[in-house]
Amino acid sequence: MITNKTRQIIKRALSEDKVNQDKTTHLVIPAKEKGKAVIIAEEKGILCGIEIVRFIFKEIDKKIKVKFFAKDGNKVVKNKKIAAISGNLQTMLKAERVALNFLSLLSGVATTAALFVDKVKKTRVAIKDTRKTTPGLRDLEKYAVLTGGGKNHRYNLAEGIIVKDNHLKAAAIVNKKNKVNQMRLEAAIKSLRKKTKFPIEVEVETFQEFCEVAKHYPDIIMLDNFSKKNLVKAVSYRNKHFPKIELEASGGISLKNIETVASTGVDSVSVGSITHSPKALDFSLELK
């Protein structure tokens, strides 16, 4: 969890908050004053980020003690004590906001992922994240998705092949009326097969486009913003003619419609809102 990249992210956050220039704390609290504090969950959810919290306090003061009463992935409820901290009071007050910011954000992502996963628990559908992450925080947010029971889609542009609508249009494979140039598509997929070992995923926006693309056997077809009716049609067509192609639904997925989407028989659903707009989980640090 605490990788070199994570350390850099945390150190940037501490530098941004200028924790070593905390005017209020330095002027009000004696430098050697000791004390104790607890971190408390203010609402229910899935905990994520405890090692980051520990690292933040230790980065400021190696002598401070941080003891957690729960692990990443554990469910927490309102008023639950998550951790006990003892040591220098200045350290606690300087680290408080940065530590809680990370804990709140990552627990919010994990909780959101868990809500989606819970909605589809009666199916075999995998809930996947996307690249719609907070700039600079992708490592941490994708870890939080896993903590909440979701799965990671490709981490970055170098770690997978997804031929999206703009790729298809830029390569003149699909025209403005969503008509597919079969020769160009066939050539593109054959070329990709020769140049990479990654599974080939192609995004489609209409049922007709889906049927045209399926003929060339990509490994995965992303069904973007399909209605329930067209998702069902696509799954039925796939099952009958191309059973080895994996189908991924995406676009406009919410907690309100995820069960409907999952019930159509797609293999996975990618959900951008897990990372681009999760509700942060509220935590507080209280001195004892």
Query: Which candidate in 58, 132, 154, 233 is catalytic?
Result: 132
Flag whether pLDDT at 1 surpasses 90: no
d(CA 173, CA 277): 33
Average pLDDT score over residue span 67-76: 97
What domains appear along the chain, each with residue ranges and CATH number?
Answer: 4-117+279-287 (3.90.1170.20), 120-276 (3.20.20.70)
Give the per-residue pLDDT at 145. Answer: 98
Q: What percent of the chain has pLDDT over 70?
A: 100
Query: Which candidate in 96, 129, 141, 203 is catalytic?
Result: 203
Query: Which candidate in 34, 75, 97, 279 is catalytic?
Result: 97
Phi-psi group of 136: left, alpha or beta (phi > 0 → left; psi -120 to 50 → alpha; rest → beta):
left
Give the per-residue pLDDT at 175. Answer: 83
d(CA 207, CA 198): 25
Mean pLDDT of the chain: 96
**CA torsion angle for 143, 147, 151, 155 (degrees, to 10)?**
0
Q: How many CB atoms lie within 10 A of CB 246?
A: 16
132 among known catalytic residues = yes
Largest CA distance in the chain: 75
Flag whether pLDDT at 63 surpasses 90: yes
Flag whether pLDDT at 266 surpasses 80: yes
Query: Which candidate in 164, 184, 215, 233 is catalytic?
Result: 164
**CA torsion angle for 279, 285, 286, 287 (degrees, to 10)?**
-170
d(CA 192, CA 85): 54
Query: Which candidate in 96, 129, 141, 224 is catalytic?
Result: 224
Give the per-residue pLDDT at 176. Answer: 76
pLDDT (tens digit, 9 = 90+) per residue, 199-258?
999 999 999 999 999 999 999 999 999 999 999 999 999 999 999 999 999 999 999 999
d(CA 184, CA 239): 26
pLDDT (tens digit, 9 = 90+) per residue, 164-203?
999 999 999 988 777 888 999 999 999 999 999 999 999 9
164 among known catalytic residues = yes
203 among known catalytic residues = yes
Give the per-residue pLDDT at 255. Answer: 97
N- to C-terminal Cα distance for the chain?
Answer: 30
195 among known catalytic residues = no
Q: What percent of the chain has pLDDT over 90?
A: 95
CB 270 within 8 A of CB 250: yes
